[in-house]
Each structure stands twice: as C-alpha cells, then as structure tokens.
Amino acid sequence: MLASADAVLAVEPACPQAGSQPLNVGVVGPHRPGSEVAFELRAIISPGHGSLLEDPVTGSLNASVGQWLFASGRASGSYVAAQGTRLGRTGRIHVSQDDAGQVWVSGATRTLFRGSVHG
C-alpha cells in the first residue's frame, strides 16, 4: 500500500534479470476523497524470463486487496477501484462485501476474440 494513487501511478518497475524467479506484485493506493474511484491498483508480473508485464485488470488481485482493505477498516460496504491507467486503459472494478463478510468483485467486460480448439 502506497500513500496515494499518484504514488501508485509513478511506480517504475525495473525489469528483472533473465533467469530470476517469477514475481507477482500488486500495488494499491487511495485516490483523493470525492474522486470517481476509491483506489488505484497495478499488477506487475515477471514470468521469470527477464521480462516484465502489467495486467490491465486483475480480478484475483482486486479480490485479495478488497479482503485486506475491508478487514483493515480502510474500506467498508463497497467501492470502485481503477486499474490499467498506466496502460491507457480505464478498468473499473466494483468491489463489495456482503453481510456475511464475503467479498465480491464485478465489472464490465469486452470480448476481444473468440476461438475453439479441435483435437
């Protein structure tokens, strides 16, 4: 957790050395009160081949961050998170917690391609 959404957007990850272990890092920071979204998230992924990727919208990251934000009192009820901003994407992830404490993640999707494999 960083101090602000601006700090999250300013992160410049370094490319790992070839042969290094795979690495998945999630970064989160709050937007200013009254903003369209409550938090900014980034998912930085290094598959271990000396490359670096950023996922524009990650449901599993938002679910785990949501659990932590609700449990720590940093969020309550529901909120909207932004992800993909640094990639020129406007991902909006809706995160809520029901009365039983279950965290739910939702949002709009767009199918970019379809296919099937015949074996």
- d(CA 40, CA 101) in angstroms, rounded, equals 23
Does residue 116 form part of some domain? Answer: no
Query: Does 17 have pLDDT greater than 90?
Result: no
Q: What domain range is 27 assigned to?
A: 5-11+18-106
Does residue 119 form part of some domain? Answer: no
Does residue 102 form part of some domain? Answer: yes
Query: DSSP per residue over 92-118, as a string?
Result: EEEEEE-TTS-EEEE------------
pLDDT, tens digit, 9 for 90 and up, residues 67-108: 999 999 999 999 999 999 999 999 999 999 999 999 999 998
Does residue 30 form part of some domain? Answer: yes
Does residue 113 form part of some domain? Answer: no
- d(CA 44, CA 33) in angstroms, rounded, equals 26
pLDDT, tens digit, 9 for 90 and up, residues 55-69: 999 999 999 999 999
Does residue 49 form part of some domain? Answer: yes
Does residue 34 form part of some domain? Answer: yes
Say which CATH number the domain at 35 has: 3.10.310.10
Does residue 52 form part of some domain? Answer: yes
Structurally, the chain folds into a number of domains equal to 1
